[in-house]
């Protein structure tokens, strides 16, 4: 799919962007693989890891998705874009709301406009479970972003550009997540738990990258893809990391949910279920649901259905949790 193509990753120096870069280099032979981000230090560090003489296809573009002119320059000649750039820390977004809007909402619109202007063939944007029935500004800003990208297919008109979105849950070991927190706390003998009932969807970084690449290949434009991934109770993670530790219940923080939702009940009528994922379909007059079902298989979700972390049929076992924790420790040199 990506052989001989020009591919650009916004937020290319973030956790997901770096894993996407690594995976594309391992599996494909792109003509150009462009890292677009605003952090010159992280770009320098990536360049040390992937030296130019060994990886001549990589390009490093400094820029910000808030700057539409720079996006127009960066997208020239690009075939595919994976849009990962975002401000995603919930407390930071609550304290600096318009900064989150500038990047997550206005930045999304800039990416769409520049992609259409430069005739980019496919753009796939990363979303989050927090965009479904959002209760915090980060989730609300990503919901706006999702709506913009889906609507981008109507904006593009006769142009080639097509836009889709991937929504998934918490990434194992990502910045600010529970595994590094519990590992840091275990030496104190006390782990802080917001609520003993709390559940979350969990996906590894590589699984997220694999799913995005799969969706990039099969997308028609307009789909919001949701993978079927396992759930986990936070107390189960605590028991694996520090079984003897005391659990201190500190209460749910502002902007936090007890359980996460990826397909809300209100969107069920537009949702198709497949073996390993769901698709929330767009409300376009030209989108033919029956034709899509015929071509791709799948079934319509029943009324009243909701895909949430507490009603999931797939849960991480103790062994699987331990494997994830061990992999994280090995990767980060933690004993």
H/E stretch holding 164? strand 162-166
Q: Give me the count of residues in the chain.
A: 335
DSSP 258: S
Alpha-carbon distance of 117 to 72, in angstroms, equals 7
Candidate list 18, 88, 122, 130, residue with the active-site label:
130
8 Å CB contact between 103 and 87: yes
Rounded Cα–Cα distance for residues 270 and 139 (Å): 21
d(CA 174, CA 15): 7
Q: What distance, in Å, lies between the first and last C-alpha atoms of the chain?
A: 40
- Look up 130 and say whether it is catalytic: yes
Burial classification of residue 28, based on how many CB atoms lie within 10 Å of its CB (0-12 exposed, 13-18 middle, 19 or more buried): middle
**Neighbouring residues of 292: CB distance < 8 A, sequence distance ≥ 6:** 220, 272, 281
Instruction: Work out the number of other CB atoms within 10 angstroms of the CB of residue 50.
Output: 17
Written as six digits, the tokens of 76 are 């020239």
Question: Which structure tokens are listed for 124?
Answer: 């796939």
CA distance 110 to 247: 45
Q: 170 with 201: CB under 8 angstroms?
A: yes
| Residues acting as catalytic residues | 130
């Amino acid at each position: 799919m990506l052989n001989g193509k020009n591919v650009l990753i916004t937020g290319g120096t973030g956790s997901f962007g770096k894993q996407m870069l690594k995976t594309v280099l391992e599996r494909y032979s792109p003509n150009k693989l462009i890292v677009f981000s605003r952090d010159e230090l992280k770009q320098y560090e990536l360049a040390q890891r992937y030296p130019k003489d060994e990886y001549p296809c990589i390009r490093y573009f400094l820029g910000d998705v808030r700057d539409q002119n720079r996006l127009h320059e960066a997208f020239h000649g690009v075939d595919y874009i994976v849009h990962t750039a975002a401000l995603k820390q919930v407390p930071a977004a609550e304290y600096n709301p318009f900064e989150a809007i500038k990047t997550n909402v206005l930045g999304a619109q800039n990416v769409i406009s520049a992609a259409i202007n430069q005739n980019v063939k496919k753009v796939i944007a990363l979303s989050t479970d927090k965009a479904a029935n959002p209760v915090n500004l980060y989730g609300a800003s990503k919901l706006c972003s999702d709506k913009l990208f889906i609507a981008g297919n109507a904006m593009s008109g006769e142009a080639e550009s097509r836009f889709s979105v991937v929504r998934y849950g918490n990434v194992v070991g990502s910045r600010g997540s529970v595994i590094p927190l519990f590992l840091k706390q275990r030496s104190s003998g006390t782990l802080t738990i917001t609520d003993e009932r709390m559940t979350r969807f969990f996906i590894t970084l590589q699984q997220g990258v694999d799913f995005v690449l799969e969706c990039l290949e099969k997308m028609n434009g307009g789909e919001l893809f949701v993978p079927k991934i396992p759930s986990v109770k936070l107390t189960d993670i605590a028991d694996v990391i520090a079984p003897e530790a005391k659990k201190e219940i500190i209460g749910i923080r502002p902007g936090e949910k007890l359980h996460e939702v990826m397909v809300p009940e209100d969107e069920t009528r537009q949702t198709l279920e497949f073996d390993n994922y769901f698709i929330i379909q767009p409300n376009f007059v030209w989108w033919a649901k029956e034709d899509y079902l015929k071509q791709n298989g799948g079934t319509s979700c029943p009324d009243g259905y909701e895909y949430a972390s507490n009603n999931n049929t797939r849960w991480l076992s103790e062994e699987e949790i331990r494997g994830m924790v061990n992999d994280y420790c090995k990767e980060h040199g933690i004993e």
